[in-house]
Structure 1
Amino acid sequence: MTQVLANYEEQLANAKMPAGKKKVLTTALKLFANNGFHATTTAKIAKQAGVSEGTIYKYFSSKDDLLAKLLQPILIEIKNNFFSNLDDQADLPTLVKFVVTDRINFIEANFDFIRLIFQEVLTGQLTKKSYQDFFANNVEILAKFNTYPEINSKLTSPQIARIFIGPILVYVLQNKLLGLPVNDDDLDIIQKQILANLTLKY
């Protein structure tokens, strides 16, 4: 089982960059996630981070640039950490289990970041190119499934993506946003649902 992406704040803590820049990035992530990109001013970020507003513009050319810098390390980690482990899965049930467990752990560990991405996509604050790059990283997984004959050959890549994303996203939103109870066997049920839908003939 691959080690899932560390919490973003932990990653920043270990990064080689000035302390002021770390404070700005960590604070911006929290404020963007909680209040939205548009409603968060650089003045508010500076005040909560305990730095001057000039410090923000020392490291970032604009608020859009700050958001782009928040996205960049996550995209790199997704590429290097998650996809490098797909080939280690011997069969389709094992692969599905890996994807479900890894993606749920990833989303839960980085929920502020994921919420920020969805907020900005929905409100149009995040540029089309930015979120295309973000989600394009996850599309690579679909090529792996073409090697399994059990999968319904009629399924398109977007359909396979929905089969995975639907139950995983609902599980996390139920738990992290709504605070509704989750059961110990929920992950097993999600894996069985995905397998059933991937192999269903129609």
Structure 2
Amino acid sequence: MGKKELTKQRIIDTAIKLISSHGFNATTTALIAKELGLSEAIIFKYYGDKQNLLRHIGKLAADQIFENIALIPFLKNVEAAKEYPLREFLRSIALERLEFVEQNFELIKILMVEMQYSEDLLQLAQKRVYAKAYEAAGAIQQIFAAKTGISEQRARVIFRMWLGAFLSIVIQKFLLQVEFQPGEIDAELEDVLDAIESLVELSGPADSQGGNRP
């Protein structure tokens, strides 16, 4: 990587760190330049202004994190894990996603927060992220329905319960910054899986018309 590209990457990395910590409005180009020990003019030279820098970061998040790094390998992992028993299948997905969020939280936070105020980022997320995320959730739901053998409607409802419980853990840990004790998240995931297995058992197998047997 040449000096120019290295400098541009340093600007992006520093901007991500500061925006994640302080928010977009509080992160000025002067603050980014000070953190880097560079002239503010260097940032203007490569990115024009702060809005353009934010668009670049948003595109980076959508392209590299959500699409290339997150969703494409995730779909492959889902395909590889579909032979697991139901409990192991759901556990492996939950743990893999928790690890992904932890490793990429700064970029995810920027995209999720700033797209509420930036029409450009919102459109980018709708175009590049949402369709892929919906595809991933649909693939998991289909495998879930096949593994449980219950009606499609019941499988959809129970799957969404599992997804909601998992997202609750993500929100607590990463957005609300709840401090979990060692092993507490694993224990909570196991409790959720216990509940899901109980609901599946109560639902019973689907009959040939797509309903549930009494």
Normalization by structure 2: what TM-score?
Answer: 0.69
Tell me, what secondary structure is at the counterpart of 2:153?
Answer: coil
* More helix, by proportion: 2
Where in structure 2 are the equivalents of 1:8-87 lying within 5 Å?
A: 18-61=5-48, 62-71=52-61, 72-75=63-66, 76-87=68-79
Matched residue SS, 2:38: coil
1:1-202 counterparts in 2 under 5 A?
A: 18-61=5-48, 62-71=52-61, 72-75=63-66, 76-89=68-81, 90-91=83-84, 92-121=86-115, 123-125=116-118, 127-132=121-126, 133-144=128-139, 145-147=141-143, 148-149=145-146, 150=148, 152-154=151-153, 162-176=160-174, 177-181=177-181, 183=184, 184-194=186-196, 201=203
Alpha-carbon separation, structure 2, partners of 1:135 and 1:153 = 23
Decide which moves more: 41-50 or 171-180: 171-180
CA apart distance, 1:173 = 3.5
Q: Identity, % of aligned pairs?
A: 26
Relative contact order higher in (CA < 8 Å, ≥ 6 apart): 1
How many matched pairs? 186
Query: Which structure has the larger Rg?
Result: 2
* Residues 95-140 of structure 1: CA deviation (Å, up to 9, x unaligned): 312211111111122222222222224x423632122222332222
The runs of 5 or more residues in structure 2 that have no matched partner are 204-211
RMSD: 3.2
In the other structure, the counterpart of 2:209 is: none
Matched AA of 1:190: V
Separation in 1, partners of 2:18, 2:166: 25
TM-score (norm 1): 0.73
1:50 Cα offset (Å):
2.4
Question: Which secondary structure does the structure 2 equivalent of 1:185 belong to?
Answer: helix
CA distance in 1, matches of 2:154, 2:27: 42
What is the one-letter code of the residue matched to 1:170?
Answer: S
